[in-house]
Structure 1
Amino acid sequence: MAKFLKNHGITNAIEDLIRNASRRLVLISPYLQLSDAIKRTLEAKMREGLAVQMVYRADNKQPDDIQWFQQQRIPTLGLDDLHTKCYLSESQCIITSMNLYQYSQVHNLEMGISIDRKDDAVAYGDVVQEVSHILDMMPKRAATLHSVTAVNANKSGKLSEAQLAKKLGLNETDLKKRMAAKGYLKLVKNSFELTDKGLAAGGEWQPRRNGGIYRIWPADLKL
């Protein structure tokens, strides 16, 4: 179930989301004015191997913050018409009216919702899919050491759906149909979405090197 957030509660929730992210983090904020605390947290998390991607509005008036992301070798994307504010990790997302902007966090009246993947896998999956569409606009050259390391650091032995299909001698569509029959995926608007049962079976999202995401599964997944 989504959790309602307002004002300082949003700031605290975003900071907690960043601290609790372990594999991937996407920050979508048209305007930026990063606090030193958030910068320090991001630096510490990236040293732990967290893959971070940043999307902002192309006419952003804080070039120093954009330069900071580039200095940290974080893939960035500037979009002309961006109005969305969304903060996404591998387990949680926050959709809100609040930018990552210190003045807004202190002075503005803001509200938003937090969605936990375990509590509402369908809503979380819908957000992930939309964020993936946005990240698909990111140039391939934006891939950095951090994003590449995160992709290659999958030591769990899990396989992508393409790899799992090949192992089982199936095409990907047939594999997804089998997963749907088992309840691991659910067909929603012509797209297969991860379910609570799929999460429990070990399905999870993984960041791509050039932006976007894909699902990975245990190599011995029961089908």
Structure 2
Amino acid sequence: MAKLLNTSATNFVLENLISKARKHVVLISPYLKLNKRIKKLIEDAILQGVSFHIVYGKQELHENEKSWLLSSTKIKLLFCDDLHAKCYLNESYCIVSSMNLYEFSQVNNYEMSILLSKKDDKDAYTDSVKEAERLIRIGSEQYQIPTLQPVDLTTSENKQPLYMPTVTQTLLTPTQPLTDEEKISTNLLATKYKTNAQRLLTSLRASGFISTENGRDELTEKSMDIGAEFHENSSGHYFLWPADLNLHTMLSN
């Protein structure tokens, strides 16, 4: 059953929402200025394998704040013009709130929030996830262009791919592991070059290997000529790439 939260309760539940996440967290707030406690909770969650989508909507984001947010490949930072919504969610709970994720608001303002549970408020929770996904889709990703340097994927510390899944995949449905031995996923290809899948996809789009139609990524003839493959399952669609693909050559052509 949905619950009403005041300012202090919103802060308490928000901290728990981050610290108890197991897969993914979405933080949507026009204004961003994270306090030290929230930053520590995010850093600890990242160490536990949790990934983040963070959406903001005001250009006043301090450069130091932006640099911190871009310092981890487990955080996808997006700018959404005209954003006024405030929503915070993980795979179990969602907070729809009047409160910005802004230190001053969390301490000084009188705020009201509604807490939704995936278990008890299924329809409202699912609709919140879908709306969060839409805001992420129309947002402009903030990133630093990576320097592509390959790493040895056969060493034990590089066996797990960096993972930045979509909100719907992580919060509503489980992801499916890939089993193709000759070709690798976009996530694993990104890991090989010390970046993440979203940043790699941006480079592939700019180089003409991927086109976007109606918000959906598709392989072009250029990518299929080098052996890329399109696959689809119950969780969505994904691409496979030749394991020996040389991105330096590929993106420079």
**1:149 correspondence with 2:150:** no
Distance in 2 between residues matched to 1:70 and 1:28, nearest whole Å: 16
Which structure shows the bigger proportion of residues in helix conformation? Answer: 1
Report deviation, 1:138.
4.5
Structure 1 residues 122 and 113: alpha-carbon distance in aligned structure 2, compared to 1, 3 A threshold:
same
Deviations 1:95-148 (A, max 9, x none): 101011111111101001010100011110110110111111246896x9x994
Report deviation, 1:64.
1.9
Distance in 1 between residues matched to 2:123 and 2:198, nearest whole Å: 25
* Contact 2:4/2:114, CA 8 A, preserved across alignment: yes
Distance in 1 between residues matched to 2:53 and 2:10, nearest whole Å: 20
Partner of 1:173: none
Partner of 2:6: 6
Deviations 1:138-172 (A, max 9, x none): 46896x9x994265xx9xxx566xx9xxxxxxxxx
Q: How does 1:117-156 map to 2 (within 5 A)?
A: 117-138=118-139, 148-149=162-163, 151=165
Task: Report the identity percentage.
Answer: 36
Partner of 1:83: 84
Distance in 1 between residues matched to 2:99 and 2:48, nearest whole Å: 27
Structure 1 residues 149 and 42: alpha-carbon distance in aligned structure 2, compared to 1, 3 A threshold:
same
Q: How does 1:60-71 map to 2 (within 5 A)?
A: 60-71=60-71
Give the AA of the match of 1:5. Answer: L
Distance in 2 between residues matched to 1:159 and 1:82, nearest whole Å: 29
* Contact 1:88/1:94, CA 8 A, preserved across alignment: yes
* Contact 2:77/2:142, CA 8 A, preserved across alignment: no
Give the AA of the match of 2:130. Answer: Q
* Contact 1:92/1:117, CA 8 A, preserved across alignment: yes
TM-score, normalised with respect to structure 1 = 0.64
* Contact 1:30/1:60, CA 8 A, preserved across alignment: no
Aligned with 1:130: secondary structure? helix
* Contact 1:3/1:115, CA 8 A, preserved across alignment: yes
Report deviation, 1:71.
1.2
Partner of 2:39: 39
Q: How does 1:1-223 map to 2 (within 5 A)?
A: 1-73=1-73, 74-138=75-139, 148-149=162-163, 151=165, 210=198, 216=235
Distance in 2 between residues matched to 1:133 and 1:147, nearest whole Å: 26
Partner of 1:196: none
Distance in 1 between residues matched to 2:108 and 2:142, nearest whole Å: 38
* Contact 1:31/1:56, CA 8 A, preserved across alignment: yes
Quick one: higher RCO (CA 8 Å, sep 6+), 1 or 2? 1
Structure 1: which 5+ residue stretches go unaligned? 164-208, 217-223
Structure 1 residues 138 and 59: alpha-carbon distance in aligned structure 2, compared to 1, 3 A threshold:
closer
Report deviation, 1:27.
0.5
Report deviation, 1:60.
2.7
Distance in 1 between residues matched to 2:31 and 2:17, nearest whole Å: 19
Give the AA of the match of 1:69. Answer: L
Partner of 2:251: none
Distance in 1 between residues matched to 2:142 and 2:123, nearest whole Å: 32
Aligned with 2:120: secondary structure? coil
Structure 1 residues 119 and 66: alpha-carbon distance in aligned structure 2, compared to 1, 3 A threshold:
same
* Contact 1:24/1:52, CA 8 A, preserved across alignment: yes
* Contact 1:24/1:90, CA 8 A, preserved across alignment: yes
TM-score, normalised with respect to structure 2 = 0.57
Report deviation, 1:59.
1.4
